[in-house]
Amino acid sequence: MAEIIQEEKSKGGKKKAKKHPPHIDMTPMVDLMCLLITFFMLTTAFAKAKVMDIVLPEKIDTPDEQRSMVAESRNVNIILGPDDRIFWYPGAVKPEEYNNNIFPPLVELDYSATGVRQLLLDKNATLAKNIKEFQNKVLKGELILTQDSVAGSIKKLKADDDTGPFVQIKAYKESTYGNFVDILDEMNICGIGRYMFVDITWYEEKMVEIATGKAVVASAN
């Protein structure tokens, strides 16, 4: 711009037929466009949100006897508590226990890599190892597969596994949606093959209340 103005001044207002077409310095324009392009490229690439698939168990009222039973030792109950707290207990509470006000204590975890992830990885060691080794093979190029068959193979590894935990996720009424997504994400990170989201039972709510100090332990008599 400055250049053009100077050139015009030096001509002193005389009207003369121009010999050459005037040169416009386009550098600032190019600079500006470069900036705009960079801006748009960076913003558009990250604008798209991601989605996480989740399948919930169908609501069918099956009688208890017909339900497939899993070994109690493989059962892991994760309870999303209030104030971003998270608890777990193994196995299951038997009717004769909760009817007599005996509740197994909950163990508190946290959402960090050393909390719930460590627990799940320990429980799921064989499967997690198999999945990781498989992924490493793909990354190193020892196995050449399409993206679809990689996902399919991992799914098969998960389905064939019979050592990993059977995780039941339960949400206490004061938990948040963020907790829910976090725990489902942990399932994906740890490669848990079998997990489901189930409604919390009254005795589990009671257990959370005892663990958070909201309810006093009723003396069993």
Partner 1 sequence: MPKIKLPTKSPRIDMTPMVDTFAVILTFLMLTATMRQDEPANVETPFSISEKPTPDFNTMTFLISPEGKVFMNMDNGHDTLLKFRPRILDEMGKRYGLEFTDKERREFEKFPSSMGVPIMQMKQFLAGKNSKERDPFQLGIPTDSLDNQLAMWILCARQVNPNIQASIKGDSKTPFPAVKEVLDNLQDKKINRFMLVTSLEAAEINLDEIKQ
CA 121 to the chain's CA centroid = 15
Q: How far is the CB of 26 from partner 1 (least distance, A)?
A: 4
Cβ closest to partner 1, residue 82 vs residue 104: 82
Of 70, 53, 188, whose CA–CA distance to 131 is shortest?
188
Cβ closest to partner 1, residue 104 vs residue 111: 111
User: Is 174 in contact with 86 (CB distance < 8 Å)?
Assistant: no
Among 1, 5, 17, 56, binds partner 1 (CB under 8 A): 56
Among 182, 203, 210, 212, binds partner 1 (CB under 8 A): 182
- Scanning the structure block, which residue is given the tokens 């596994």? 161
Q: Which of residues 112-151 bind partner 1 (CB under 8 A)?
A: 113, 117, 121-122, 125-126, 128-129, 132-133, 136
Among 15, 16, 19, 59, binds partner 1 (CB under 8 A): 59
CB-based burial label for 116 (10 Å; 0-12, 13-18, 19+):
buried
User: Is 69 in contact with 77 (CB distance < 8 Å)?
Assistant: no
Cβ closest to partner 1, residue 139 vs residue 216: 139
Would you call 127 helix, strand, or coil by DSSP? helix
Cβ closest to partner 1, residue 24 vs residue 92: 24
Of 126, 133, 117, 127, whose CA–CA distance to 193 is shortest?
127
Q: How far is the CB of 107 from partner 1 (least distance, A)?
A: 18
In our burial notation (b when 16+ CB lie closer than 10 A, e otherwise), range 142-153 reads eeeeeeeeeeeb
Total site size for partner 1, rule CB under 8 A: 55
Contact call for residue 110 and partner 1 (CB under 8 A): no
Q: Which of residues 64-83 bind partner 1 (CB under 8 A)?
A: 80
Backbone angles phi, psi at 171, to 5 degrees: -110, 125
Q: DSSP class of residue 114?
A: T
Contact call for residue 60 and partner 1 (CB under 8 A): no
Interface residues with partner 1 (CB under 8 A)?
23, 26-27, 29-30, 33-34, 36-37, 40-41, 43-44, 47-59, 80, 113, 117, 121-122, 125-126, 128-129, 132-133, 136, 171-182, 184-185, 188-190
